[in-house]
């Protein structure tokens, strides 16, 4: 039994971890830890930073996946960069109109640990439409041209393994990898703690996409209780166009949350 106030290196948030220390494993790329917490279920940390808890992971995964999937009329081919825990894949496979899903995750140990300890999150990885590739996402995308209808960036934070996924040249390559009318959505940090980073990202994304909009979800586990995303397109699909949801039994996402998530607090200028 342990009681540990786990310090989030980025923003100084704490969450009390009270229970069993399940996994402490140093992969080729990062430290992977799994805890059993008292109130949040199992918890996954990478390089000391909380990635998800069973308690509220759906708030994040549903909003990152269903917003673009319910906008695009023909999302045949979907690319997910990062997200080795499988949460985004789980949500994407709920859309029967999707024909293929490529998951590019640099660290296969994250995938294997999630399969073992987070089966309710990683379950979509077994879908026949899913192809898993253990590559650096920034390197993989350099060789892609006109392949994907939707690209979802489920990155870690910009100071770790996922740092290259926050760079301008990465988005230049993403644009080339998209088909006509393609959509990119990306993890884009907290509107309360990371305004400068978000604004910098917005400015270079606008060089490649006509429509760039920030939206957010509420995740109590995360610092500030929120985490945000950028929706990027050439304007053929706008983020609140025709977002009819036909997916049942979701925990957080619905059509009203979809629209309201693009409305930011008055005091937030991003």
Lowest-confidence segment of 46-55, 91-100, 162-171, 211-220 by average pLDDT: 162-171
Domains of the chain, with CATH numbers? 2-52 (2.30.140.10), 57-260 (3.40.50.150)
CB-based contact 61:54 (threshold 8 Å): no
184 pLDDT more than 80: yes
pTM, entire model: 0.92
Each residue's pLDDT tens digit, 96-135? 999 999 999 999 999 999 999 999 999 999 999 999 999 9
163-191 burial: b if 16+ Cβ within 10 Å, else e: eebbeeebbebbbebbeeebbbbbbbbbb
pLDDT-based confidence at 5, cuts 50/70/90? very low
β-partners of residue 153 are 81, 186
CB-based contact 45:51 (threshold 8 Å): yes
pLDDT-based confidence at 171, cuts 50/70/90? very high
pLDDT-based confidence at 20, cuts 50/70/90? confident
**Could you identify the residue written with the tokens 């977002």?**
243
Q: Which pLDDT score is estimated for 2?
A: 29
Catalogue the active-site residues: 154
How far is Cα 54 from Cα 267, in angstroms, rounded to an integer? 31
């Amino acid at each position: 039994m342990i009681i540990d106030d786990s310090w989030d290196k980025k923003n100084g948030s704490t969450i009390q971890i009270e229970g069993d220390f399940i996994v402490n494993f140093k992969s080729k790329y990062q430290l992977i830890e799994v805890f059993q917490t008292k109130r949040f279920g199992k918890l996954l940390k990478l390089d000391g930073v909380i990635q998800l808890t069973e308690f509220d992971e759906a708030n994040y995964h549903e909003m990152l996946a269903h917003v673009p999937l319910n906008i695009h009329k023909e999302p045949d081919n979907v690319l997910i960069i990062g997200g080795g825990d499988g949460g985004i894949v789980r949500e994407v496979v709920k859309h029967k109109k999707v024909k293929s899903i490529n998951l590019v995750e640099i660290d296969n140990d994250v995938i294997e640990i999630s399969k073992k300890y987070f089966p309710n999150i990683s379950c979509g990885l077994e879908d026949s439409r899913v192809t898993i590739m253990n590559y650096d996402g920034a390197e993989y995308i350099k060789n892609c041209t006109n392949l994907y209808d939707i690209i979802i960036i489920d990155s870690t934070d910009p100071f770790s393994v996922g740092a290259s996924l926050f760079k301008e040249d990465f988005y230049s390559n993403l644009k080339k990898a998209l088909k006509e009318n393609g959509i990119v959505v990306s993890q884009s940090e907290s509107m309360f703690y990371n305004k400068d980073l978000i604004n910098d990202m917005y400015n270079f994304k606008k060089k490649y996409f006509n429509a760039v909009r920030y939206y957010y979800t509420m995740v109590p586990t995360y610092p500030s209780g929120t985490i945000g995303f950028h929706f990027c397109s050439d304007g053929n699909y706008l983020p609140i166009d025709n977002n009819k949801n036909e997916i049942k039994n979701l925990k957080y996402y619905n059509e009203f949350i979809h629209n309201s998530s693009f409305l930011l607090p008055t005091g937030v200028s991003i």
